[in-house]
Amino acid sequence: MIERHLFDAEHEGFRDTVRRFIEEHVTPHHADWEKAGQVPRSLWRKAGELGLLCCNVPQEHGGVGGDFLHSAILIEEMARAGATGPTFYLHSDIVAPYLVDFGTPEQKAQWLPRMASGEVVVALGMSEPSGGSDVQSIRTQALRDGDEYVINGQKVFITNGHSADLLLLACKTDPSQGARGVSLILVETDRPGFTRGRKLEKIGCKAQDTSELFFSDLRVPVGNLLGQEGGGFKILMTQLAQERLVQAIRAVSAAEAALEWTRSYVAERKMFGQTLADFQNTRFTLANLHAQVLAQRVFVDRCMALHVKGLLDAVDAAACKLVTTDLQFKVMDECLQLFGGWGYMWEYPIARAFADARMCRIGGGTAEVMKQIIANAILPKTRKP
């Protein structure tokens, strides 16, 4: 493997803490969480106690005060362990940055310290039954009534939806304005008018609670508005590069883990008087996958280095997310094949990783949306006269 130069000694010390946390508090219980459909609140509090939440949030707002590389380490190690249940990355690296960059002093003081401690769990409410990636077409409305917004609508596929104490909700405050009518509103889940639907039964990521959410004449004060009214779409666009990089980090780290599981398995599995590793098909398959994953590791590390400097643009992030998640699924598929019948058994990590990987080409923006973003950048449309 090519030596990585992103992380310093302090980062690697943090990685040791993360690995111990996963070994002691995640891996032994993950199968039970898959059956329950969510992780316990105690895990969030333990992660907060160890400084694993909101790593990139400044200390003055209650965070750890680290950089994005601390977050990346946690994302990598969770992916390598096949721990898809604890969605700390959504809480810390997708939602928290919106509050840091656009929240009022009061909003930051109220929420960020409790997010960092694990006392409060947050979710991002964007996807709706009529569509997920097309944010400007959302139907959930938040209409002004004096000093309050009255919210009506429905969300679906909401990660952390069953656990969340706070939602960052994308709403239409002016339904006539398309993207310019989208606003982001902080919604506490203990307010009258909020109802959680069922925990959705997915083919993978089973320990990750994913829910339907309903809003019926739910009222919040106008002070819960994040940023400017009608500015929600622009705010969302500012964080897309990081959101897609998070998915790419997860994808390449999970692929690396799957290759290691498979290498160990084929070296021991006997067939026709030799190990699976002795067959040319096995050797060529794993050699090809290793080369492709190595290339994507270099790409992801380069994107991380650019992102830390504030130089990663949305198009490159989309490209990174597209190729890494496509490769992740290919790796899981071909590695599972080498496990034979055992690879189809849920008790084997490769079976769960195969099912989990399918979501990654959808979440954080579908592969088709990534292609559209890239195509628009490299092939500008020409209007017919």
- Looking at residue 131, its pLDDT comes to 67
Is 384 a member of any domain? Answer: no
SS3 227: coil
* Residue whose token pair is 């990750």: 208
Residue 136 in this model has a pLDDT that exceeds 80: no
pLDDT at residue 169 is higher than 90: yes
Q: Do 113 and 131 reside in the same domain of the chain?
A: no
pLDDT at 22: 98
Q: Tell me which residue range forms the domain holding 250.
A: 239-378
Transcribe 355-380 into DSSP letters.
HHHHHHTTTTS-HHHHHHHHHHHHS-
The band of 365, judged by pLDDT with boundaries at 50, 70 and 90, is: confident
Count each helix (H run) and each strand (E run) in the chain, helices first: 13, 10
Judge if 186 and 67 occupy the same domain.
no
CATH number at residue 285: 1.20.140.10
> Is the pLDDT score of 326 beyond 90?
yes
206: in domain = yes
71/145 same-domain check: no
Is 252 in the same domain as 176?
Answer: no
Domains: count for the chain: 3
Domain shared by 14 and 32, yes or no? yes
* 156 and 114 part of one domain: no
Final residue of a structural domain among 183, 204, 231: 231
Residue 267 lies in a domain: yes
Boundary of a domain, candidates 171, 199, 231 = 231
For residues 268 and 38, give the distance between their C-alpha atoms in angstroms, rounded to a whole number.
Answer: 34
**pLDDT tens, residue by residue, 57-111:** 999 999 989 999 999 999 999 999 999 999 999 999 999 999 999 999 999 999 9
For 209-257, write each residue's pLDDT tens digit.
Answer: 999 999 999 999 999 999 999 999 999 999 989 999 999 999 999 999 9
First CA to last CA across the chain, in angstroms?
54
**Res 137: pLDDT:** 80
| pLDDT value for 235 | 95
Q: What is the CATH number of the domain that holds 138?
A: 2.40.110.10
Q: What is the mean pLDDT of the chain?
A: 95
- Is there a contact between 210 and 161 (Cβ–Cβ < 8 Å)? yes
pLDDT bucket at 196, cuts 50 / 70 / 90: very high
| The predicted structure's pLDDT at residue 107 | 97
Band of pLDDT at residue 384, cut at 50, 70 and 90: low
For residue 163, what pLDDT band results from cuts at 50, 70 and 90?
A: very high
Q: Degrees (nearest 5) of the Cα angle 216, 219, 220?
A: 135
pLDDT at 133: 65
Query: pLDDT above 70 covers what percent of the chain?
Result: 98
22/29 Cα distance (integer angstroms): 10
For the domain that residue 85 is a member of, what is the CATH number? 1.10.540.10
Give yes or no: residues 139 and 258 share one domain.
no
Answer whether residue 4 is part of any domain. no
- Please indicate, yes or no, if residue 218 is contained in any of the structural domains: yes
Residue 363 lies in a domain: yes
Active-site residue flag, 243:
yes
199 with 322, same domain: the answer is no
CA distance 134 to 366: 11
pLDDT value at position 3?
Answer: 86
> Are the CB atoms for 208 and 87 separated by under 8 Å?
yes
Tell me the average pLDDT across 157-173: 96
- DSSP for 205-216, written as a single string: -TTS-EEEEEEE
Q: Are residues 161 and 212 in the same domain?
A: yes
Position 385 pLDDT exceeds 60: no
1 occurs within a structural domain: no
Among 99-113, 249-263, 371-385, the least confident range: 371-385
Q: Take residue 257 and report the two structure tokens written for it.
A: 């883990």
Q: What pLDDT is stored for residue 378 in this prediction? A: 93
**Same domain as 324, residue 369:** yes
User: What is residue 166's three-state secondary structure?
Assistant: strand
Nearest to 11, CA basis, from 101, 76, 91: 76
Candidate list 77, 212, 243, 256, residue with the active-site label: 243
Q: Are residues 251 and 363 in the same domain?
A: yes
- Where does a domain end: 72, 103, 120? 120
Contact 182, 230 (CB under 8 A): yes
pLDDT for position 381: 76
Say yes or no to pLDDT of 182 above 80. yes
pLDDT at position 16: 97
In this structure, the answer to whether residues 252 and 332 fall within a common structural domain is: yes
pLDDT band for 2, please (50, 70, 90 cuts). Answer: confident
Q: Does residue 141 form part of some domain?
A: yes
Given a contact cutoff of 8 angstroms between Cβ atoms, the answer to whether 148 and 221 are in contact is yes
Per-position DSSP letters for 233-302, written without gaps between them = HHHHHHTHHHHHHHHHHHHHHHHHHHHHHHHHHHHH-EETTEEGGGSHHHHHHHHHHHHHHHHHHHHHHH
Annotate 32-78 with DSSP letters as a single string. Answer: HHHHHTS--HHHHHHHHHTT-SSTTS-GGGTS----HHHHHHHHHHH
Q: Which of 25-34, 277-286, 376-385 has the lowest mean pLDDT?
A: 376-385
Over the stretch 204-213, which tens digit does the pLDDT of each residue have? Answer: 999 999 999 9
